[in-house]
Amino acid sequence: MRALAALVVVLVFAPVASAATLNITLDHRSVGVGDPFRYMVTARGDSTLKVIADTGPFAVVAAPKISRSHSGGQTVVRIEQTLACLDRGCAPGKQPRSVLLPAARAVDPSGTVTAPAAAITLVPRVPASAVAASRAVYRRQVEVAPASTPVSPGLAAALLATAAVLLLALASLLTWLGLRRRDALPVRDRIAGGLERALRLLRESAGRPVPDRRRAADYAGRAAAALGGAQVAGEASRIAWAPPDPEPADVGALAEHIESAVGSGQ
């Protein structure tokens, strides 16, 4: 009697393991060769739950997404795979073909649960008549699609016209401000500024070819003449256009002569 009582106690207090459950989901039931589709397996069971979801003849075209969480005292394992038919083992012939994915399995201490195999239909990309034809038939687009714009053509034209008017007004304002600033300077100051630049170019031409020295001498002579330096302007014209070719020392001496005769423009 003691043995029997002990046996009864064990049977009453032993935990009852709950069987695992499986759920299979396909985002498409019919695809063509090379078309990707998602194959999702969701399992619930013990904390040691393991899920096996083979893909059979289908190729895995993206890294599987595997997640493990807890809900209602159970462990939830979800596997999502992106597959595609890239092999003869699943490719259709002249007619659509139903292909079975291997049955998914969930394993925990309560045992192994196997879900019904999921089926997906592979459809041909071209009709049998096109496959049998001696010459391929191509689809030609003969109609031009209408233009589409985010705004109506009338509104776009009005916006462009307004922008053109504003830009023209801005350009006119900048030009007026520039002329006003230029006119605000005395004439002699503007001429003196030109002489200063001419002397700088004349000195820099000493390190440049002969044609550059001649042009710099002519420019400096005209700038000096504008300030009343007729004598040095004549000397500059001779160096610029008469033989022999001006040497670096010649343009340097001319710059010193002009500067001493009419100033440097300061």
Is 172 inside any structural domain? no
What is the rounded distance in angstroms from the CA atom of residue 161 to the CA atom of residue 173? 19
Tell whether 247 is covered by a domain: yes
Question: In the structure, what pLDDT confidence band is assigned to residue 31 with cuts at 50, 70 and 90?
Answer: very high
**Residue-wise pLDDT tens digits, 79-122:** 999 999 998 889 888 889 999 999 999 998 888 899 898 999 99
Within a domain: residue 21? yes
Per-residue model confidence as pLDDT tens digits over 166-203: 999 999 888 888 777 655 445 444 455 678 888 888 88
pLDDT at position 187 is 47
Is residue 120 domain-shared with residue 221, that is, in the same domain?
A: no
Q: What is the DSSP letter of 186?
A: -
Together in a domain, 34 and 113: yes
How far is residue 122 from each of residues 83, 84, 88, 215, 252, measured CA to CA in Å?
13, 10, 11, 83, 90
Query: For residue 93, is it within any domain?
Result: yes
Q: What is the mean pLDDT of residues 124-142?
A: 72
Which residue range is the domain that position 206 belongs to? 187-262
What's the structural domain count of the chain?
2
Domain end, chosen from 126, 150, 166, is at: 126
pTM for the whole structure: 0.44
What pLDDT is attached to residue 45?
87
SS3 44: strand
Q: Report the residue count for the chain.
A: 266
Q: If you average pLDDT over every residue of the chain, what do you get?
A: 80
**Do 31 and 116 have their domain in common?**
yes
Per the domain annotation, does 255 fall within a domain?
yes
CATH number assigned to the domain comprising residue 100: 2.60.40.10
Asked if 122 and 206 sit in the same domain, the reply is: no
The answer to whether residues 36 and 113 belong to one domain is: yes
Does residue 141 fall inside a structural domain? Answer: no
Residue 176 lies in a domain: no
Q: What is the predicted pLDDT for the residue at 261? A: 82
Q: Tell me the per-residue pLDDT of 203-247, one tens digit each, with 9 for 90 and over.
A: 888 888 989 889 988 898 888 888 777 888 888 888 888 888 889
b/e per residue 81-99 (b: at least 16 CB within 10 A): bbbbbeeeebbbeeeeeeb
